[in-house]
Amino acid sequence: MKIFNHFTLITLFQLCPLMLTIAQKDNLRRDDKYYDTGLPNNCDKVLYAVSQRGAIINLGTHDNLVDHLVIEALLPFRCNAIAKSLNNKIFAVQADKSTEQIVYEYNSIAKNGKFTKWVLPAHDDGGWISAGTDTKGKLYFGTTTMRTMVRIDLRKKEVDVIWGSKDKIKGGERMTCYDGCNFYINERDEIMIKENKKNSSYRISQYPSLVLTEQKKWNNQFNNIVCNDWYEYRNTKDEAVSIFATRDGIVQINDNRLKHIQLDTLKYGILTDIAGCESYERRSPYIVINEKKEKLILEAIAKKENIRLDRILFKQGESKILTGSYDELDELVAILQKNKQIKIVLEGHTDISGNPEDNVLLSLERVNACKDYLILQGIDKSRLQVMGYGGSRPIKKFGTEEERAINRRVEIKVIE
C-alpha cells in the first residue's frame, strides 16, 4: 500500500481541475464505466516505421508510400515496438529489456515526446518486439516469442495483461515463435501473428475468449520475406495490402505486386516495427432490423426454403470476406438477436471452374468465415451450422467471369 504525505495530497487536489480539463480536451471520457466502447477516431492514413536505433520514419500514406525513407524523429532509446493511436500519436517502448518499462509518447504534430503513466510489466521473454492498434483504439505490445501480450486503453491507468508466460491460450500449444514473432490487429480485433523467419502465421480470436483459431502455412511470395514486422490493410479498391518491415527497408505486396523501398541501415539502423491505425473500418452490428429480410427468414421456416444472402462477397479463389459484405451480415446478426429461437445452416457455393474437391473445401472455408463473424458479434455457435457444396449447384453455368460470379454465394436454411 502506498502512503501519501500531506504535500502529495495537496498537490493532487491542486492538479484535479487540470486533469479534468485535459480529459475533456482530448475527449477520452475517463469517467466512462464501459471501456469496451471505442475511442474518438481521428486517425489519418500515415504509416510509420521505427529502426532499432530509435529513428521514427514517415512511410507516407496507405495508398501512396514514399519512394525513399527519411527520418522524422529520434526516440531517446533503442526501440523494437511502436503503436499509433487514433489521435495520431506514436507510443513506443525501449528495446531488449525484460524489466518493467515505461511507455513513451511521441507527438508527430508538435514534434516532441514524453514518458507516460503506463508501465509494461516485467517478463521473461527478451524484450518488447512488436505493437499494434485495434479498431477501438486500444494499443497492444507483445514480447519476442509472444509469451506475453498486454493491452492499453488510453482512458485507464492500468495496463491489461492479455496473457503472460504462464497463461495458456486454447489451441495455443500449436503456436511456436522460437525465432521471434510479430503481429498486427485485424478488422475483427483478432491478433494476427507471423513468425519472423518462417512462413507460418496464426490467428487468435479475443472474443468471447482467447482462442487460437487458425494456423496457416504460406506458399507464395511471403515465403521469401524475413520480416521484422507485419501490417495489413484494405485499400480504396478493397484489396488486401500487406506491408513488411525487413532489415533494410519496406516490402509492400498488393495483389501479388511487390514494391521494395530501401533504407540506409548504416545511417538509420535496421527497421524493426510498423505502426498505423486506419487498417480497417469496422461497422457496428447493432443496426435497425431489415424488416423485409426478417419476414423472408420467418416465412422460410414454414416453406423450408433457402434464402440467398446477396451481398456477401469474396474474391475469386479466396475465403476472406470483402468489407462490402458486413452490412448483410450485420442485418443477419440483428435478426438472429431478435429471434433467438432461430437456428440456421450457412450453405456455401463456388463457381464451377477449378477442381471440384478444392471448390468444396473453399465453399466450406467461406461459410466458416461467415460463421466466425456471426459468433464474434455475439451469436451462439450452437445456433449455427455450415455446409459446403462447391460448384455442384450453380445458378449460372455459362457466361463471362462477371456473370458467373453470382455462383460464388452464401445461402441460409432455417432449422428449428
Domain boundaries, the chain: 28-275, 291-415
**Summary mean pLDDT of the chain:** 80
Res 11: pLDDT = 39
pLDDT top residue among 323 and 349: 349
Distance CA 138, CA 205 (A): 15
Structurally, at CATH architecture level, domain 291-415 sits in: 2-Layer Sandwich (3.30)
Mean pLDDT over 100-126 rounds to: 94
Q: Is the per-residue pLDDT at 241 higher than 70?
A: yes
Contacts of 274 (CB under 8 A, 6+ apart): 47, 48, 49, 59, 229, 230, 231, 243, 245, 250
* DSSP state, residue 173: G
Residues 243/197, Cβ–Cβ less than 8 Å? no
Read off the pLDDT band of 238 (50, 70, 90). low
Structurally, at CATH architecture level, domain 28-275 sits in: 6 Propeller (2.120)
Res 143: pLDDT = 94
Q: Which region among 29-33, 126-130, 300-304 has the lowest average model confidence (pLDDT)?
A: 29-33
User: Residues of 10-43 as b/e, b for ≥16 C-beta within 10 angstroms?
Assistant: eeeeeeeeeeeeeeeeeebebeeeeeeeebeeeb
Res 253: pLDDT = 81
Mean pLDDT over 229-242 rounds to: 76
Percent above pLDDT 70 for the chain = 81
Cell 502506498, residue?
A: 2
Residues 170/181, Cβ–Cβ less than 8 Å? no
Res 221: pLDDT = 55
Q: Which amino acid is at 161?
A: V
Read off the pLDDT band of 297 (50, 70, 90). confident
* DSSP state, residue 159: P
The verdict on pTM exceeding 0.75 is: no
Res 148: pLDDT = 93
Distance CA 413, CA 359 (A): 20
Q: Is the per-residue pLDDT at 99 higher than 90?
A: yes
Q: Which region among 74-78, 221-225, 252-256 has the lowest average model confidence (pLDDT)?
A: 221-225
Q: Is the per-residue pLDDT at 317 higher than 80?
A: no
pLDDT top residue among 308 and 21: 308
DSSP helix/strand/coil, 357: helix
Question: Pairing between strand 112-120 and 128-133?
Answer: unpaired
Cell 433467438, residue?
A: 340
Distance CA 190, CA 134 (A): 8
Res 13: pLDDT = 34
Q: Is the per-residue pLDDT at 212 higher than 90?
A: no
Q: Which region among 38-42, 191-195, 266-270, 273-277 has the lowest average model confidence (pLDDT)?
A: 38-42
